[in-house]
Each structure stands twice: as C-alpha cells, then as structure tokens.
Chains A and B, each alone.
Chain A
Amino acid sequence: MGLLDKRFESENIVITTVEDVLNWARLSSLWMMQFGLACCAIEMMAASASHFDIMRFGVIPRSTPRQADLMIVAGTVTLKMASRVKRLYEQMAEPKYVISMGSCANCGGPYWEHGYHVLKGVDRVIPVDVYVPGCPPRPEALLEGIIKLREKIRRESLVKKKLPPVYVEEK
C-alpha cells in the first residue's frame, strides 16, 4: 500500500489511500444477486457449493437486489425476462457490477438466429463488466470471471470513468 505503511512504531496504524481501502472492501465482499435463468445456473450453483466454494472470494448469494453488489446473469435472457432483469439491476444499490455468464447472456448463444424470444446479449439492457464465455461455462470459468472482476475493481478510481468490460479468455 502506501509509502508510509509500517513506518510507525505502533502496530495500530496502517496508512493507505481512500481509493485503495474502498476498492479493497468492495472487491472482498461481492454479494451477488442470486437468480438463475437456464442451465448456466446449474454451473453457478456448482460454483457456490463446497467443491468450488465461491464464498472464498466473498461472494455471498443474496435474495434481494437491495443487498447485492453483483448480478450474475446466468443463462438465456428471454425478451419477457429482459425487462425484469433491467428492473432488478436498477433496484441494486451503487456500486454495482454485472457478470454475463455463458454464450446466451453474452450474445444470444444458440438462439442468435432463430430465437424470436431471446435477447441477443444482456448488454442490450444493462451494462456488463465481465463476460464469461462457454455453453455453459464450467465453475472454474465463473471463478475466473470473479477474479477478473476483482482485478477490475482493484484498478477503479473515484474520479475517473468506469473501466471498459473485460473478457474471460476461452481455453
């Protein structure tokens, strides 16, 4: 952290910047809005379970948007659901982040051409911070998405503009 850190005799003083503390707090407790839309939700549930243990990143599922910092859009966003997703996003308190999980939420996935009922990418209604590709992505991919989001929040600034979206690379 700062240059003066650990330069004082007392153990009770740590010196840093407001930005760093805020970012550290935000990235360490990314409470997520828990809702699943399709098969990606199964992988999200697997990521929340003991084997992958998403809680070690401070991601706790919350049942209300008022308590959530992070929305994981896990699955196919239908046109019918899109307005609900938008409303839930609007009900979340700032600062709020969105992970688009899976090909459907990224760009429409297998429904891109003949999906009369599918929104071709959730970024048409809400701003997305991290895109996780896969159909569905494995829990590891979602975890990497969380890590990417944490890195992004770590680089955030109080005064500068919001950072552009990042992508988890397909392997």
Chain B
Amino acid sequence: MQASEIYERIKSKFEDAIVEFKADAIVEPYLEVKPDKVKDICEFLRDEPDLAFDYLMCLSGVDYGDGTLGVVYHIYSMKHGHRFVLKVKVSVNDPVVQSVESVWKSADWHEREAYDMFGIIFEGHPDLRRILMPYDWPEGSYPLRKDFQVPEFYNGMKVPY
C-alpha cells in the first residue's frame, strides 16, 4: 500500500487528529498528527488487517530548535511489506505525548531514550526513567536539547575539556 492510501485510511477514521500530510517530503512522505491521538492511530494502524503495521522500526526524539520538540515513528508491516512515517510535535514547555508502549513493546526503551535525551514525557508509559544517562544526572537536564549546556562538574569530576 502506498503512503497516500494509508493516509486516506487514517483520514477516514481520525479526521480531527490530523495536522498535516506531506506527500512530497524529502526522503519519504510523512503524516503529522496530534500528540494526544497518536496511540489510537497506532492501534488502528496495527490492528486493521489491510494495514497490519506490526513493527515499530524506530522511535526518535527531535528538537527542532524553535521551541518545539518532536517524536518520529517509523513503522513497517512485515505482512504487507509497506512502511509509513508518523510525526508529532509538542511545545518544549509542555512536552507530553501519548505512549505507544502498549501498542508495540519495542517502544518501551525507545521512549525512555527520547525522555532521557529530550525530556519528552510519554503519558501512559509504565516505567519512564532515564535509560542512558546516570540516574543522578541533574533533573531537567536533557543532553540532546539545542539549549543544553554541559554541567561544569558531575560528582566532583570536571566535565568540559
């Protein structure tokens, strides 16, 4: 199934959750949806027999640098061999996105990583803690944010060169 057909399927059910569909995007088309509807859409994409997106290839966090954070979902159907890209954007002041951990188990650690690096809060995640950085890393310090500053010291060790 082509991306435009998949988009039409989503549109027929989640008309009000769609922000933008970009068919001529660089590399591949993507669909931007609202962050509080992403779980329902993902469940729909997984459970419909003709879509059958059974594999979350990657879940990435993004900082666009203009006060918005984003999450990008690359999903794939092993059954049909088609793929699709979903995006959500949230404000850096209220970065709350629905968790898709209940849809695809592999989202668990991916979401923890996005939380660790960007501070995106995944609502409904069962165990949202840091995964790469130490647990005693300063609260509210997310290393891959554009405005991140390296702390001068960590546990008495000088960090900058």
Contacts and interface: CB of A to CB of B under 8 A. Distances in A.
Interface of A: 79-80, 82-83, 107-108, 112-113, 116-117, 119-120, 124-125
A79 B134 contact: yes
Interface size range on B against A: 10 to 19
A120 B160 contact: yes
A107 B158 CA distance: 12
Given A116-B143, A116-B150, A79 B161 contact: no
A13 B85 CA distance: 81
Contacts of B160: 120
B64 interface: no
A83 B157 CA distance: 9
A120 to B, nearest CB: 5
User: Which among B134, B160, B161 has the highest number of chain A CB atoms within 10 Å?
Assistant: B161
B155 A116 contact: no
Contacts of B155: 79, 83
Contacts of A124: 157-158
A79 B143 contact: no
Interface string B6-38: 000000000000000000000000000000000
A117 B159 CA distance: 8
Interface string B129-157: 00011100000000100001010001101
A117 B157 CA distance: 11
Contacts of A119: 157, 159
A117 B143 contact: yes
A110 B154 CA distance: 20
Given A116-B148, A117-B133, A117-B143, A79 B158 contact: no
Given A79-B155, A83-B155, A113 B143 contact: no
A90 B83 CA distance: 52
Contacts of B133: 80, 117
A78 B151 CA distance: 14
Contacts of A80: 133-134
B8 to A, nearest CB: 43
29 contacts: A79-B134, A79-B154, A79-B155, A79-B157, A79-B159, A80-B133, A80-B134, A82-B157, A83-B155, A107-B161, A108-B161, A112-B161, A113-B161, A116-B143, A116-B148, A116-B150, A116-B159, A117-B132, A117-B133, A117-B143, A119-B157, A119-B159, A120-B158, A120-B159, A120-B160, A120-B161, A124-B157, A124-B158, A125-B157
Nearest to B136: A80
B154 to A, nearest CB: 5
A44 B71 CA distance: 39
A127 to B, nearest CB: 15
Contacts of A107: 161
Contacts of B134: 79-80
Contacts of B159: 79, 116, 119-120
A156 B143 CA distance: 45
